[in-house]
Structure 1
Amino acid sequence: MDDGGGTAAADELVRASRAGDEAAVSRLLSRGVPVDARDAEGCTGMYLAVHEGRDGVVRVLLAAGADPEQITGLYAEDLPLIQAASEGHTAIVRQLLAAGARPDRPNRLGATPLGRAAFRGHTDIARVLLEHGADPQLRWRNRTPLQWAEHRGSTETAEFLRTWAAGRGGPAATA
């Protein structure tokens, strides 16, 4: 029915994913539209569902076998986990990690999920990523996540990362 190269069915799946229409996404998948099909612009349903914060659609796509580490973005530069971390979608971050997304995998530009969460001041997401083994010392553009939080003026996130590093709530506290 669809080779993933931008047919009408793929376009419809991507539109439904962006709109958050779980029923339409399920219906299209049951008709044989590939779960990671790309529309005419090269976008997948996962890319737009994550971007729009459609956690129900993300759940449907992952249950249907969507790759939680598929290359996304208009320029094939991003990953769903980095996108969700950057946009502040905690529920989606949890879903992607549960589906096997690696918490430290960088995108094509070298950003990591934790680096982007710190950059945007998303403390809850930083906590989730660290609880799933993200390395707080990985650098993106020569800065650690803590340095990004400080640079961007994200005081709450910076304080959380300092506390985590000191072992209060982090791995040293449970050792």
Structure 2
Amino acid sequence: MALPGDPRRLCRLVQEGRLRDLQEELAVARGCRGPAGDTLLHCAARHGRQDILAYLVEAWSMDIEATNRDYKRPLHEAASMGHRDCVRYLLGRGAVVDSLKKADWTPLMMACTRKNLDVIQDLVEHGANPLLKNKDGWNSFHIASREGHPVILRNARLFGSSPGAS
């Protein structure tokens, strides 16, 4: 049985959307992190729990720019999983749109690995730079091309006037 404040238990409460139970345990576990260094914000963003994400930010003043061991922020998690409501919430709270995780991946690059045009559009509209390159020299258009998402590729204008440039 998991002890109160156990990061796995807290993450499970977030995944299951059990806000009341989470509230009761947060006083004990406010600063806990999971095995990969994830905060509860990472977990809420990854699982599309915008209500819990908002609660953690607004009631507990948790840092939306917290990084895990791979330097992922909650925005990376929400973008990579295609959780538009979480992406919009984080951007609305001032999340850094072009933050870098290990290997220099931005939230936009991570969104391009999924078939979620809306999230990609939201990131670009909030100033994400589609021409930034990761450590392998790939920009967002290259990643979308590799994933073979025709709807996203038909909207190449999102990636700048010359997607292969720079």
Structure-1-length-normalised TM-score? 0.77
Runs of 4+ in 1 over 3 A off after TM superposition: 10-15, 39-43
Deviation at 1:110, TM superposition (A): 1.1
Q: Does the 8 Å CA contact 1:86/1:113 hold for their aligned counterparts?
A: yes
CA contact (8 A) 2:71 2:102 kept: yes
RMSD: 2.3
Deviations 1:9-35 (A, max 9, x none): 253533322322122223334x4642x
Identity %: 28
Alpha-carbon shift at residue 138 of structure 1 (Å) = 0.6
Task: Check whether the contact 2:5–2:28 (CA below 8 A) recurs between aligned residues.
Answer: no
Consecutive unaligned residues in structure 2, runs of 5 or more: 162-166
Using a 3 Å threshold, how does the CA distance of structure 1 residues 16 and 133 change in structure 2: closer, same or farther?
A: same
* Inter-partner Cα distance in structure 2 for 1:58 and 1:147: 31
Instruction: State the secondary structure of the residue aligned to 1:95.
Output: helix
Per-residue deviation, 1:50:
1.8
Kept after mapping to 2: 8 A contact 1:14/1:38: no
The 1:40/1:120 distance shift into structure 2, 3 A limit, reads closer
Q: CA deviation at 1:131?
A: 0.9
Please tell me whether the aligned partners of residues 14 and 43 of structure 1 are also in contact (alpha carbons under 8 angstroms).
no
* Partner amino acid, structure 1, of 2:52: V
TM-score, with structure 2 as normaliser: 0.81
Contact 1:14 1:48 in 2 (8 A): yes
* Total equivalences in the alignment: 156
Q: Which residue of 2 aligns with 1:81?
A: 75
Residue 128 of structure 1, aligned match among 122, 128, 131 = 122
Give the equivalent residue in structure 1 for 2:84: 90
